[in-house]
Amino acid sequence: MSANIPDQTGGPRESISRQPTFIEKHSNTVFGWATYLFAWLTVLLVLYIVCVIGIQAAPAIRDYGWGFITGTTWDVNAHQYGVLPEIWGTMYSSLLALVIGALFGVAVAIFLSEHFLSSFVFSVGKLFGVQFHPLWAKLPDNFERILKNLIELLAAIPSVVYGLWGIFFVIPLIRPVCDWLNSNLGWIPIFNTTLSGPGMLPASIVLAIMILPTVSAISLNALLAVPPKLREASYGLGATQWETILAILVPTASKGIFGAIILAFGRALGETMALAMLVGNANVISWSLFSPANTLAALLANNFPEAGPKEVGVLMFAALILLGITLFVNMVGAFILQKASEPQEGVR
Amino acid sequence: MAQTAKELSSAPKAGNGNRNTNEVVIDCNISELYYGKFKAVRDTRIPIERNKITAFIGPSGCGKSTVLRCLNRMNDLVRGFRFEGHVHFQGKDIYHHSVDPVAVRRYIGMVFQQPNPFAMTIYRNVAFGLKLNGYEGNREERVEQALRDAALWDEVKDKLHTSALSLSGGQQQRLCIARAIATRPEVLLMDEPCSALDPIATRRIEELMLELKDSYTIAIVTHNLQQAQRAADKTGFLYVDTTQGGRTGYLVEYGVTKQVFEDPKEKHTQDYIHGRFS
C-alpha cells in the first residue's frame, strides 16, 4: 500500500483519480479465481467421464485385450466380442459423409462469402439500367442472411428426425439409382451388393447433411477473414472471380477450412441415433456402399438396453474406443483451428 | 474475352521510348460517377501520356483514388458503382459493353496503398500474373527480370522460395510492383503506394518510378506534394465541391507539374499547394 502513487488532490489540476478500494482490488482477485476454478472443473469433468468408463471397461479390457479390437463377431451367447466391423463402419461412414458434406459445405461458404446472389441481381439490374431503391437493394443481402441461418438451423434438427427422414425419404429416393448402379456397374467393389433398405450410403448421405452446417459456418468465417486487399490484388492483376477464389481465397483460408472439416469429422464419428436407424446394424466389413453395416455409436445405442452385467463392461470398452477416436480427432481439429486463427506473420 | 483482349492489344502502339510525343495512352473523361446515390466525382478529364508519370493530388475525399480506379475498372467491384463518360485506352472505350474488365486489368496494372503480397512464396507471387496469362516461356527469367526492374532482386535472390510475408513493408511494396510489371502491362496505376512506408522506403519507390517510366506509363495518386513535385511530369489537382450538398470531387487544374506547383492558375490550387486550407 505504501508503495502506491501518492494522492494528488489539491494539485493544480484537481484530479479526481483515487486508489482502488479494498473491495475493488479483492473482488478482482476473487473473480479471477472463480473463472479459473470453473474452467478447470470442465476439464475435471471430462477426465472423470474417461475414468468412470475406463474403470467399468477394465474387466473387459483384461478379458479380451487386443482381440476385442481385431475380432469380427459379436455373439452375446458365446461371449465372443469384437468391434472391428464397427470401427470400420464408423470410419467408412464418417469419411464418406465428410467427402459429401465438405464439398457442399465449402461450396455453400464460397457462395455466401462472395455474395453471388446480390452481385447477380445487381448485374442484371445494371444491364437494364435499373436503379434500386436502397430498401430493395438490401433484399439479396437479407436473403443471403436468411440462407446462412437456415443452414445453421440444420444443426438444430434432432438426430432422430433425421433418422426418420432418412428411412422415409432418402432410402426410397436413392433406391432406383442404387439398383441401376448395382446391376450395371456391380463389378466395382463399392457397388457390388444390392440396397436392401438401410445401408452405408443412406446413412452417409444423412450424416453429410448433419455435418454440413459445421463445415459451412467455420469455412465461411475463414473465407471472410481473408484480408480484402488480397482479393483486390488478385483482381488488379486481371484474375477472374474463379481464379481469385481458387488461387487466392481458398488457399489463404485453407487452414480454417481444414480445421472445419476435422471438427465435422469428429461430429460424424460420434453421431448415434440417425445412424442406428439407417446403417442396418449388421456386423459386416464391406466396401459396398449399399451393404448394411454398423458403427460404434449405433452398437452402443442398440445393445445397452438389453445388456447383462458382463456385456455392460464390453460395451464400456467399445465406448472407450469411440471416445478415444473422437477426442483425438477433435483435439487435432482444435489445434489446427488455433494455428489458423493466429495472425499470419507479416500481414499488417 | 480473347476477342476483347486482342482488340485491346492490337490498338495502335507507338514505339516505346519515344518520349517527345505527347501520345495519350489513356484518355479519361468522367462526367459523372456515382456510388449508389452518392455522386463521388464529376467533370474530370485527365489524359495519361505515354512514358510519363501523371500524379493526382488533392485533399482527402476528393476522389483521386476513385478516378484512378476507374482507369482499370477496379470500381466495377464496388456495388452500386455507376459511371457516365468514357475512358479510352489506346483508342478503345474500356467501358464499352463488349469489353471484359478482366482483360482491361491485364493491360493496366495496379499497385495498391497497402502492400498486399499473397500468402505464398516470393517467386509464386511474381509468377502469379504470368500464370494467369498462360505464359509458356521461361518464367524464371521473367520473374528475375521483374524483380530486377523493381530493384528487389539483390535482396531476395537467395530466398525466392520463402514466404513473401517475411519481407519488410517496403520490400513487400516493391514485390507488389514486381508482380504488377512481370506481365509488362502498358500502364501502371499506383494508389498512394508509399503511404504505408517510411521515408527511406518511399524514396526507394520514387527512384524506382523514375526508372520505370522509360518502359511504362505511370499514373499515381499521392498525398505527398513533394513526391508529386519530385516524380511527376504532369499533375492533376482535384478538389471537393460541397456546394451541391454532397461531397463531389472534380478536377480543378491539370498541367505540367512545374507549372501547377509554381504558377497555379486556380485559386483552390494555390491555396492547397501553399497549405492554406481549412
DSSP string, A325-337: HHHHHHHHHHHHH
Tell me the domain boundaries of chain B: 2-115+185-273
* Contact criterion met (CB < 8 Å) for A237 and B132: yes
In percent, how much of chain B has pLDDT > 70?
Answer: 91
CA dihedral B139, B144, B147, B151 (to 10 degrees): -160
Is pLDDT at A9 greater than 80 in this prediction?
no
Q: Which residues pair with B121 in a beta bridge?
A: B163
Whether pLDDT at B41 is above 60: yes
Confidence class for position A52, pLDDT limits 50, 70, 90: very high
CB contact under 8 A, B128 and A119: no
For the domain covering B2-115+185-273, report its CATH number: 3.40.50.300
C-alpha to C-alpha distance for B74 and B66, rounded to whole angstroms:
9
Q: What is the pLDDT of residue B1?
A: 42
Q: How far apart are CA B60 and CA B241, in angstroms?
A: 12
**Taking the domains of chain A in order of start, what are their residue ranges?**
86-298+328-341
Supply the pLDDT for residue A342. 61
List, for residues A177-236, the tens digit of each pLDDT value: 888 888 888 888 888 888 888 889 999 999 999 999 999 999 999 999 999 999 999 999
Q: Flag the least confident range among A90-99, A136-145, A199-208, B116-125.
A: A136-145
Residue B277 has pLDDT above 90, yes or no: no
**Average pLDDT score over chain A:** 85
Q: Which residue has the higher pLDDT, A311 or A207?
A: A207
The pLDDT assigned to B22 comes to 75
Is pLDDT above 50 for B14? no
When the candidates are 1.10.3720.10, 3.40.50.300, 3.40.50.620, 3.30.365.10, the CATH number that belongs to A86-298+328-341 is 1.10.3720.10
What integer pLDDT is reported at residue A219 of this predicted model?
A: 92
Residue with cell 478538389: B239
Report the run of H or E that residue B191 belongs to, with start and end.
strand B187-191
Note the pLDDT tens digit of each residue in B210-239.
Answer: 988 888 899 999 988 888 998 899 999 998
- Which residues are registered as beta bridge partners of B219? B54, B189
Class of residue B80 by CB neighbours under 10 A (exposed 0-12, middle 13-18, buried 19+): middle
State mean pLDDT over B45-54: 91
pLDDT band with cut points at 50, 70 and 90 for residue A82: confident
What was the pLDDT predicted at A166? 92
Beta strands in A64-213 (DSSP E): 74-75, 80-81
* A10 or A44, higher pLDDT: A44
The span from the CA of B269 to the CA of B263, in Å, is 9
Complex-level ipTM: 0.86
Give the integer Cα–Cα distance in Å for A84 and A294.
10
Planar angle of CA A192, A197, A199, nearest 5 degrees? 60
Are A233 and B116 in contact (CB < 8 Å)?
yes
- pLDDT category at B170 given cuts 50, 70, 90 is confident
Chain B nearest CA to A102, separation (Å) = 23
Among B74, B114, B165, the residue with its CB nearest the CB of A236 is B74
- What's the gap in Å between the CA of A239 and the closest CA on chain B? 6
Residues of chain B contacting residue A237, judged by C-beta atoms under 8 Å apart: 105-106, 109-110, 128-129, 132, 179-180, 183
Q: Does A251 touch chain B (CB under 8 A)?
A: yes
Banded pLDDT at B24 (limits 50, 70, 90): confident
pLDDT confidence of residue B10:
47
Which stretches of chain B sit within 8 Å of chain A by CB?
A: 36-37, 72, 74, 77, 79-80, 82, 102-107, 109-110, 112, 114, 116-120, 128-129, 132-133, 163-167, 169, 172, 176, 179-180, 183, 196
Residues pairing with A158 in the sheet: none
Buried b (16+ CB within 10 A) or exposed e, A247-258: bbbbebbebbbb
| b/e A214-234 (16+ beta carbons within 10 angstroms → b) | bbbbbbbbbbeebeebbbbbb
Q: Which three cell numbers stand for residue B211?
A: 526508372
CA dist A39 and A173 (Å) reads 47
Asked if A253 and A154 count as a contact pair (C-beta separation under 8 A), the reply is no
Distances (CA, A) of B60 to A45, A139, B57, B78, B111: 58, 32, 9, 19, 19
With 0-12 CB in 10 A as exposed, 13-18 as middle and 19+ as buried, what is B222? buried
Q: What are phi and psi of A33, to 5 degrees?
A: -65, -35
Tell me, what amino acid is at B114? Q
Read off the DSSP letter of residue A158.
Answer: -
